[in-house]
Amino acid sequence: MYEIKNKLFMRTSAIALATILITLMISSRESLNFANAHASPYDNGTIAHSTHIPPVVLVHGYNEGSWVWSNREHLLSQDHIPFCAVTFLNSDECGSASDHATELNQIIQDVKHLTFSSQVNIVTHSKGGLDARVYLANTRTTDVANLIMIGTHAGDILANFDLTDPCKPAVFDLQVGALDTMATQNPNTIYYIIAGVCLLWPVPNDGLVPLYSVESLGYSTSLGHTPHCHMSLLGRPEYNNALSVFTGE
């Protein structure tokens, strides 16, 4: 095992120009583990060289961090699927969809470069799906083969009236009629959804997001429902539903 240190990656965004120091640990199975003492878009993710399986970029949701993917990371590692869990530099848990979309544009380029891949797959939870949709709509990129949105809604009416929520500006992106909820389709990417149905009253929902809201995106394909509530949608059942997309089968 050896280290390649002090590689500088210049990150250009509409807000600022930052230089990120990334330490790459290369193991005997040719996997690259990201470690960084400073703020980094990569957090406890593992990127592995792969010529046939695109890397998976994991994007967390509202008031969450990359920690929500700990179980999913374990499953991806078991199946030797390269991945990284994103930590955004702009406000992270409470950042706006537009800021996160701008950062995703550069993060995807970094992941492609490090894995020698032409495309990636993006998997998101909750608001992370809205962030990714804005990124895809704004860039019209061909870099993303598939977007899998887990528990992503089309706007929550409660967010329109809860003025005390401290997680701003992210909470504004959750409102009904917010611009991110109306992001247009990128024809170069296939969109998938996974929904949880853990409560049947008054309508099928995951305890936070109604099933009809998750399934309201007309150009998406459903990968099925699981009997899990919103914050438990990142387990084995949801992973199994998406596995064929990861492997291209």
Question: pLDDT at position 47, please?
Answer: 53
Question: pLDDT at position 46, please?
Answer: 52
Residue 111 in domain: yes
Residue 77 in domain: yes
State both tokens at 61. 């949701």
Measuring CA to CA, how many Å separate 56 from each of 32, 76, 82, 173, 224?
14, 9, 6, 24, 20
Bridge partners (DSSP) listed for residue 77: none
Q: How far, in Å, CA of 111 to CA of 128, rounded?
A: 18
Q: How far, in Å, CA of 120 to CA of 109, rounded?
A: 10
Residue 4 in domain: no
Residue 6 in domain: no
Rama region for 248: left / alpha / beta (φ>0; ψ in -120 to 50; rest): left
Question: pLDDT at position 9, please?
Answer: 28
Q: How many domains does the chain have?
A: 1
Q: What is the CATH number of the domain that holds 227?
A: 3.40.50.1820
225: enclosing H helix or E strand: strand 220-226
Residue 140 in domain: yes
Residue 2 in domain: no
- The torsion angles phi and psi of 17, rounded to 5 degrees, stand at -115, 120
Q: In which residue ranges of the chain is pLDDT below 70?
A: 1-51
Residue 53 in domain: yes
Range of the domain at 234: 30-247
Residue 179 in domain: yes
- Using one digit for the tens of pLDDT, what is the confidence trace for 104-116? 999 999 999 999 9
- Whole-model pTM? 0.81
